[in-house]
Structures are given as C-alpha cells and as structure tokens.
Structure 1
Amino acid sequence: MDKSDNKFLLRLLAASALGLSLLISGCSGGSTDPGNSTPSITITYLRPWGPDVKFPAGEDQDNNVHTRWAKEKLGLELKNLWVSPSTNNAFETKLRLTLASDAEMPDIIAYRGDFNLVRELIESGKFLDAGELFDEYAGDVWKQAVNEDPAVWYPFMQDGKRIGIPILDYAYNSDPVMWIREDWMQTFGFDAPKTLSDLENIMEAFTNQDPDGNGEKDTYGLTIGFKNWVNTWMSDAGWVFGAYGAMPNQWNLTEDGELEFGSVAPESKQALEKLHSWMSKGYIPEMAGWYDEAKAVEEFTAGRAGIVVGPHWMPSWPLEDLEKNVEGARLKAYPIPSGDDGQAGRHGTSIANGVILINKDMAHPEAFFTYQNYLFNHFANPTVSGDFEIGLAADDTPEGDQPLPDEEPAESYISEKYTITFDGARIPGLNMATLLKLARGEEAQTPFEKRVEASASRVMLEAAEIVMDQKDLSMKQMFTGAPTATMQMNNDILAKLEKDAFTQIIYGKEPIDSFDTFVEKWKAAGGEQITREVNEWYRSVRGEEH
C-alpha cells in the first residue's frame, strides 16, 4: 500500500479499535467487510451528471460498481446530496438556489463548467483552504501530476489561498490538428499544405472543382463555426490567427514580457482579413456565424466540407460519422499550416478541466484524500495484476471500441465516469506519451498502454504524433486568475464589442480598418484598465514587484 493510502486509515485506527482490521486488510491487498468490522464514513457530494453517464438496470448514482468498491475497499459511503443533470443548466440553477438560500451544502463539490459559478462558490466562504489539506494529505503521484503545471491552481485561489483543487485532464487533450478528406486530396494530387497559400489552393479545389463528383456546386473547403467564438475546442479557427502570431479571446505573452489580449493584437487584423477573404470566396459556409462547434462539424461528416480543425480524438467522435455517411470517404490528420512567413500557432489547452471544493464543515476532509490518492496511485497508471488492471470494473469497455450488433454501446457503462471527479484520476502527461509511443510502433506493455491501444485507431495515433511534433505551437491562456474587478463589471460589454466587430468584418459588413475603431472602443470601455489589472496579477504570481 502506498504511504498516502495509509494516512486516513491510521486516523480510523485511532478512532476505533475496529480500524485495525481495515488497516491490515487494506495493506494485504484484500477487501474489507463494511457490514461487519469496518468503520465507515459517509462522503456527501455534488457533481453534474451528463447524458453520457448511464447505469445498468437497478443501479444509479448512489448504487453502482464504483460506490460498492469505495465501501468495500476504503470504508467510504459515497452519497449524492441530490442529483441533477448537466443539461440545460439544471445543475447550475439548483446549486445557485442552494447557495442563495443557505441550504445544506455537501462535503465535496466537483464541478466543471461555468467559471462564474466557481467564483460564487469560492467567494461564499463555505469552503476550506484545500491547498493546506492537499499539502498534508495528497500522495506523491497526485502531487507530481499537479506539478506538471503549478499554474493550474491560479483560477481557484482567493487571497493567496488555494480554495479549490484542480481536476486534472490529459495534457494537449484538445490542442487541434487539421483533419482533411484524404480521398479528395488524392483526387487532386495535393501534397500536405505547409502554408496558408498552399491551403488556399486546396480550398479552391474543394469548393469549386466538384470534389465529390456529383456535378453540383455543394461543397466547401473548410468548415468552421464561430457562433460561440472563433477560438473554440472543435471546428476551430484560432490557427488562422496563429499564422500571424495572435490568438484571440485569451491573454498571450508578448515579446516584452507583458500580457496582451489576443483579440486586440494588431496581428488579429490580418487574420480577420484572411477569414473575410475566405468567406467572400465561398471557402467557408455562409452560415458559419450561426453554427456552434457541433453544427459546423456536421458539414464535414455529411460530406459537404473537406477540412475541419479540432482535437486528435475526433475520429472516435464525431468524425466516425463521415465514413458512415459518405461511401469511400477517408480521413487523415495534417499539421497546422503556417503563414507565408513561417509563423504558426494553435489554441493550447490546460491540464485542468474542473475543480474540487471541500466544505469547511466536513468532519473528515482527509477521507476524500484517501479516496483520490487511491485512484491516483492505482487507477491512473495501473500495474499488472493491480486493482485496476482492466479499469474500475471488470465489464468496462474502453471508449472507442465498437460494439457488436445488438450490444449496448461501449460508452454506456464506463464506470470511471461514476467517480466523484468524473474520470477517476488522470496524470496529464501520460496519455500523449503513450499515444506517441504507440504511433512510433513501440509495443504496449503496461495496462494503461494496452487500454489506450485498444481504443486508439491508427489515424488517431498519427494525429497525436502531429500534436506532439507541433507542441511548440501551443498558445495557452496566460491569465488564469480570478476575474479582475473591471472584468466583473465590463466583460459582457467587451465580449459583445468583440463579437460584433469580428462578425461584421468576416462577413464584409464593415471594412477591415474598422478593427482599429473596435480596439479603441475596447480599450475605452474597460479593456485598458483590465490590461493593467491582468499584468499586475501576472507579476504577482511570478513574484515580481509591481
């Protein structure tokens, strides 16, 4: 047993002589009998439950293979204070009502979603300084995982205290590659596009030379959707800005060491001019401004567009629909192209995708660390013959496996989705390192590597290799602190200014020079003051004097 698994068990031993049987059984690798000699502690919690989480008949959020494991192995009763779906903001609405009415809060809240809600919870004063508990109780594996990027703490801090613990995701998990119809590429004899000029030649053919051979002009070169924004997690257009050295809708580090909002950087003007050119030539759908990410991707999976930009895992979802919808269609990943001067950049993604908050009235907060330490020590990268060699449950099927006819879809009963923190435990660098190893033809040896191999197609491995080959292009959000005072007052106004200006330019409703007017308005409406506040924050977290 890892030493970090022991701390809570020792506390149980001090609380009850019956704890001795738990300590001995746990260290010997056996399970405990909670109905007989094992003292048990209940952890109440809240987390949104998405439509992707499904249970076998007769089971639910409080009664499933995972809750039974937690009770038998760790002596922990896991109970939802209440259950609410993640759709239509139902969870957020109920949690806000709970907070506003000063109703009972659970021991643990695990959440990914509305950052404003996260700040409301942190500022409520109802939660502990989780950083102190983390320093005391988190095991080495968990600490090393967080330390892959210590900046993941910044969004969840208040007055220098780490109120929330970041929920970790895999590194580079949503950094994009360029997905292109390989059958269309071969029809025209195109080589991989290295520059935007190369790409424009391809888009011209895909738009105007009948790549699907149906005799109609019904195809596009590139599908993007910027209803939600131009720099998104799927059907992304941020790489167009990256070709000029900018990245919109985030704070980027300039050569002089200052943070600058990418949407007002001079280079964004060039990117908008390029997007307007593509819109005017019909290379991108006229409805792009009304498409969200999923709707934009439908243009690709329906066979109407030849290029879409998004994460390496898209062949598993949603691009698997392409070959179902279009006979003979083939997919291939390509690197992000550069501008004609060789510059390139892509939207970078954080290794955190949620937060854990611990109620200040929780009687045994160390119990949660026993739970999460065990998952980091034994599930995140399991050993051969270990507890989780084949996942959290023997009947788990890796995501990406295809079910046989008449079987339940593979994703229906993935028990790691039942965990408090959504995905069990993730070591950020492990997934891409494994995908890269497999892409280069090395043999899968560990249980984790074999599980990844079972769910990763060859085209996905090639995409992951491209992600890592171009990792230096990744441009991450550099401001990850709490919203500044002026942001809280002015962000909605500034976001509307930005979206209106970008949309008008892309659609040719306003000339490109209107960008300069937008920048002036943005600065005057609070942007200039926010820039000062953001840089003050940046200096403070770097330990620099103001």
Structure 2
Amino acid sequence: MNISLPRNGVVIVRKRIRDKAALMLAVFMVVQTLAACEGQRPAEEPDNGGTEEAIYSDPGLTKYNPPIEISLVRNVNEDFSDLISNFPGETLEDNRWSRLYEDVLGIRVKYEWTAKDDLYYQKLGSALASGNIPDIVRVDAQQLRQLANEGLIQDLTEVYEQYAAPFTKDVLSQEGTGPFEAATIDGKLMAVPETAASVEGAQYLWIRTDWLGRLGLKPPNTMNDLLAISKAFTESDPDGNGKHDTFGLALTQYLWDPVMGALDFMAGYGAYPNIWLEDDTGKLVNGAVQPEVKQALAVLQRMYHGGQIDPEFALKDGRKEKALIAEGKIGIMYGEQWGSFVVQPSYEKDSDADWQPYPIVSDTGKLAKVPLRFATNQFLAVKKGVKHPEAIVKMINLHLEKNWGVTAEFEKYYSTPYPAWQLSPVTPFPLLKNYEAFLQLEEFRTTGDEAVLHDEAKAIRKNIDAYRTRNDITGWGWERIYGPHGVYSIFRQYEKNNQLLFESFVGVPTEAIIEKQSILDELKNKTFMNIILGRPIEEFDRFVEEWHRLGGTEMTAEVNEWFAEKGRKTQ
C-alpha cells in the first residue's frame, strides 16, 4: 500500500529572533491545516502586556474574592505516589500548586475522590453514567460527546474566548485546529482540549551500545540489521556471564505502549496499525487492516519463538518489563524520548551499560516513516450549573504563566528537578518546548553564549553538567535526550528528511467510532497478541474480515465523509 502524507500537509514554521544577547529558534508544528500559528514567545518579548501588573490584571488571571471551591477527581497511581515522596510536607490537596491557585486566583482545589489506575477508570465510568460528575472532569473524546448529548456539561465557547490569556491562546493553537475541532460539538466548544504534541509521539530505537561493541556489531540501517542484532543479543552472550539469559527486544502486554511497545517496530515494515491514513487514491484507510501489518506480525512471531522476546511479556506491564532492562537482560527497546529514563536503571546498576538512541529503520533500507497519532485525547469539561465555568481557563492560564511566562518560576513549579508540574490538576504546556530547549542547548554548545538559554534549557543544562562533571546519575537520562547525539538530534533528522507521518483523521469521533471502536480495538489487540504467541498468521486475514463486518466498514465510510467535507472547506 502506498501511503500519502496528509493532503493538507504539515506546516513547520521557524521564527528566528536574534539580538546581540540571545538567539532562539522557535519551532511550531501545525498539523492538518494550511495556516501557521504563533508559538511560544521568548520571555524577553512578552505578548501579554510585558509587566506583572499587566499580566495579572488580565480577566483570565484575576482573583475571586471570596474564594471559590472547584471539585475534581484524580488517578493517584504508583507513579504519583513516587512523585509526591519527592516533596516532603506536600500532599495531593496541599502542595505548591494548590496554594498557588488559591493565593493568586482564589480557587480552592478539592478532590471528590481518588483511585488508582483500573479502579479510577471504573469509578469514572460509573460517575459519567450516573451524571454524578465533579465540577471539572477530564474525559476522552467519546466521553465528551456522551456528556454533551446528555446535557450534563456547559458550552465554553464564550468562556474560552473571554478568559483565555493571549499566551494561552497561542500555546493551545500550536497543534492547529484539530484539538478544538475535536472538542466542538454542534458548533459549541464543550471542553477545553488538553492539547498534546503529536510530534512528541515520535519513537526511537534504544540500543545497548556496549553490547554492540562486545559482539563487534554496528548500529542498524535496516530491519534486517536490527533482527541480526536482536538474534545476537539473545544467542551470543552479550553480557559475558556465560549464560543463555538475555533477550533482544523489549515488549509489554500492551502492544501499543509508547515505550517498550511494538508500534514503531511495525512501522519498519510500513505498517501503522493505530492511525488513519490517506492512501494513494486519496481515501482514508485504517492502518490496522493493511497487509503490511501481517508481515510485521509474522516477524514478531518468529522472534518470540526464537527466544528473542521475554517469554512472559504477554503477562507483564511496563514496570515488570522495565525490571528486566534494569537487570541487564534486554538490549533493544522502541520508545519515545522519555525512554531514556526507562533504561537509566540499567546504567545505575551497571556503569558499563551504555544505551543510545537511534532512528527507527525500515525493511527497504529507505528512511522509515515515523507514525504520529493525533495526540489530543483528553478534554476538560465543566459540569452544567457550575457558577464559575471560567475557573478552569484561569487555572490553565496560571499554569502556563508560572512555568513559561514572564513571571515564571520554572525551578519551583515545573522541575526541581523532580516534575513538580504533575502536582497540578491541569498541566498544559507549549507543545514544542522540548525541541526548543534542545535547539537552545545546541546554540549554546556552538557559541558558548549562556544568554541563549531560557528557563527549561537552563535546568536541563544543569542536569547534564551534573552528570558530566560529577557523574551525578540523575543527569544521565537527560543527556540521552538533549545531548548532541541525543533524541532530539534524531528528531531533527526526522523533520529534515520528511519522515513524520501524521494521522489524517482528527475530527470529533463519529457515531460508528463511538459505538464500535472499543470492540474493534479489543479484537485487534487480542488477535495480534495471539499471532505473536503462535496462532497461525492466517488469523490476520480473518481479523480483517471481522473488522469490516463488526463496524469497520461503517467507520471508514464516516471518516471519509468527514475527510471529504474537510477538503471542501479548505479548497
């Protein structure tokens, strides 16, 4: 199957702001729209008044007097428990962010209930079904449509227009119109999208280079090279302990995990099972039912039966599989930029364990396309009847301002270097901030001029320097992301070489998607896992037939109806 890039293209706008003191390259990615949008402003050139007095007199940052209370719910999984332990004296409801919202905005944050992982989603589902929702609720696109159809949430069109600060509007427009289209139902903005950067979904190959060196191997240029490395990592005793106890490739029971998943392994065979694509006829097709997926599954099946994948991976989540990496039992992993922190425990236990990121590779030897799913999948809705629906917009304004605005206190509210931003119930961010920080660091490495570094880049530089000068292990992962040969140096190659493949469907979920998507996803995940574990590869063909019969044909028709309408609007 020939795959075309989205018909409306990808607009990458670079704006270079130079003076004698600083140089900053800001990169703004707009997906599925021909209009370029403004990006994050440099701190020295604010667009919201320029002074603290002007900023906090904006309607979106004024204080309620007397204070108001806003209720939410929250997932407090093990990761959050680990996080809060890094902030002595702070709790979920009483921390630097809850105090800031009350001190500056007069908003008291209250959690109606909390729960962990699966229990959280069960309780949230029950709350949504009963209509017993908090003042502000985080939902996905399907849940948003259901709440809107039932009349349980408020129209935020005028609220957002009136109360979103200029900086907020700039930041939330950086992904183009897609996130707001997904939050708009019957012409009304029914939630504020938690815009996410599709480009942050780009994945990389993480490989133990010390094992490569020990076995006399070179980094891969093709999938065949990668398969040879995986085989050697499994069979040639790369750790030198004389035992047959290592595996080539990391996988988890969740095949589409952003780290240790199979998504970009499949991309190496031109297979993109999690996105809608425009084919060479100009129609949208679902990547899960394309023939390239069958080839990728067959290869994974051979690797599994060849002992190159943990035989118990289908029973293990990311934490358990990460433990194998930490123990020095796995040498290859696909993952997003934060994968460096997944492999870092391996280095912590063994200073010879040297992991490096590489570009993903293809079976043809040509540059692989890097699939990027439409990333905005969470929305903040406000319950019908809440007196101050604008409170959510004010919280978003303040979160952005205190982390990246003129009055930012980055090392207090964002990174200490522990991620303090996660203590906040809302966590918006400039979508290309990570890449921008890398570009500032690159400029600094070239010129030696510290004036080019802004808050985030300064903090990252401290972490990297701590690793390089004092062997502070906490900086190891940061160096693998932001160093001269780190993840973002590879992302720059992806961008330059036109390797980024964006999802083509970014609209509101259609009726068939709402009704059928979860069923088809369950069928896909079960079938693919069973094939990897040994079921006949022909089961893929039966899956394709079932996918179409159980709603895939209907979904495809509706998605193409949306696509045709979108094309007419942009002509």
- Is TM-score (shorter-chain normalized) higher than 0.5? yes
Does the 8 A contact of 2:206 with 2:335 survive in 1?
yes
1:54 maps to 84
Q: Residue type matched to 1:427 in 2?
A: P
1:161 aligned partner: 188
Structure 1 residue runs without a partner (length 5+): 7-21, 400-410
Instruction: Specify every segment of 5 or more residues in structure 2 that has no aligned partner in the other structure, as ranges.
Output: 1-44, 465-477
Alpha-carbon spacing, 1:295–1:464, altered in 2? closer, same or farther (3 Å) = farther
Residue 370 of structure 1 corresponds to which residue in structure 2? 394
Which residue is 1:181 aligned to? 208
CA contact (8 A) 1:276 1:506 kept: yes
Report the secondary structure of 1:428's partner residue.
coil
Q: 1:141-156 maps to which residues of 2 (within 5 A)?
A: 141-149=167-175, 150-156=177-183
* SS of the residue 1:46 aligns to: strand
Q: Scaled by the length of structure 1, what TM-score is found? A: 0.80
The CA distance in 2 between the partners of 1:329 and 1:77, in whole Å, is: 48
The answer as to whether partners of 2:107 and 2:391 remain within 8 angstroms in 1 is no
- 1:466 match: 490
Quote the residue 1:11 is aligned against: none
Q: Is the 8 A contact 1:235 1:308 kept in 2?
A: yes
Mean CA deviation greater in 79-88 or 457-466: 79-88
CA 1:107/1:23 → structure 2, altered by over 3 Å: closer, same or farther?
A: farther
Q: Is the 8 A contact 1:323 1:330 kept in 2?
A: yes
TM-superposed deviation, 1:482:
4.1
Where 1:84 maps in the other structure, the secondary structure is strand
Structure-2 residue corresponding to 1:397:
416
Which residue of 89, 95, 98 corresponds with 1:67? Answer: 98
Amino acid at match of 2:173: N
Q: Percent identity?
A: 26
Corresponding position of 2:41: none
Contact 2:144-2:381 within 8 A present in 1 as well: no
Q: How does 1:14-163 map to 2 (within 5 A)?
A: 26=56, 39-51=65-77, 52=80, 53-54=83-84, 59-74=90-105, 76-80=106-110, 82-90=112-120, 92-103=121-132, 105-109=133-137, 111=138, 116-149=142-175, 150-163=177-190
Which residue of 289, 308, 313 corresponds with 2:338? 313
CA 1:203 to 1:501, structure 2 compared with 1: closer, same or farther past 3 Å? Answer: same
1:3 CA drift (Å): 8.6
Deviation at 1:184, TM superposition (A): 0.5
Structure 1 counterpart SS, 2:218: coil
Cα distance in 2 for residues equivalent to 1:101 and 1:125:
13
Asked if 1 retains the 8 angstrom alpha-carbon contact of 2:141 and 2:379, the reply is no
Deviations 1:375-397 (A, max 9, x none): 33x224244xx35253338xx61
Greater shift after overlay, 494-503 or 306-315?
494-503
1:224–1:297 CA contact under 8 A, matched in 2: no
Residue 433 of structure 1 is matched in structure 2 by: 436
| Greater C-alpha Rg | 1
Per the alignment, residue 450 of structure 1 pairs with: 458
For residues 492-546 of structure 1, the C-alpha deviation after alignment (integer angstroms, 9 at most, x for no partner) is 4433432343234333421x3443332222212221121111211233344459x
Provide closer, same or farther for how the CA distance between residues 359 and 4 of structure 1 changes in structure 2, counting only shifts above 3 A.
farther
State the match for 1:379 in structure 2.
402
Would you say the 8 A contact 1:184–1:306 is kept in 2? yes
Deviation at 1:97, TM superposition (A): 4.3
Q: Secondary structure at 1:218's aligned position in 2?
A: coil
Quote the offset at 1:418 in angstroms: 2.9
Mapping of 1:313-332 within 5 angstroms?
Answer: 313-316=338-341, 318-326=342-350, 328-332=352-356
Question: Partner letter of residue 420 of structure 1?
Answer: P
Matched, 1:203 2:230: yes
Task: Letter of the 1:83 partner, please give it.
Answer: W
State the match for 1:405 in structure 2: none
In structure 1, distance between residues paired with 2:88 and 2:311: 46
- Structure 2 match to 1:18: none
* 1-structure distance, mates of 2:559, 2:461: 42
CA distance in 2, matches of 1:24, 1:125: 37
* Residue matched to 1:218: 245
Q: CA deviation at 1:187?
A: 1.0
Q: How many aligned positions are there?
A: 494
Q: Separation in 2 of the partners of 1:40 and 1:5?
A: 27
- SS of the residue corresponding to residue 44 of structure 1 reads strand
TM-score normalized by the length of structure 2: 0.77
Q: What does the per-residue CA deviation read over 1:243-265, in whole Å, with 9 as the maximum and x for residues that have no partner?
A: 23220133222232222111101
Change (3 A) 1:65 1:279: closer
Q: Name the SS of the counterpart of 2:204 in structure 1.
A: strand
Give RMSD over aligned pairs: 3.3
Task: Provide closer, same or farther for how the CA distance between residues 282 and 488 of structure 1 changes in structure 2, counting only shifts above 3 A.
Answer: same
CA distance in 2, matches of 1:24, 1:5: 5
Q: Alpha-carbon deviations, 1:115-172, whole Å to 9, x = none?
A: 5544443333122222332233222221122222221224333223221111134553
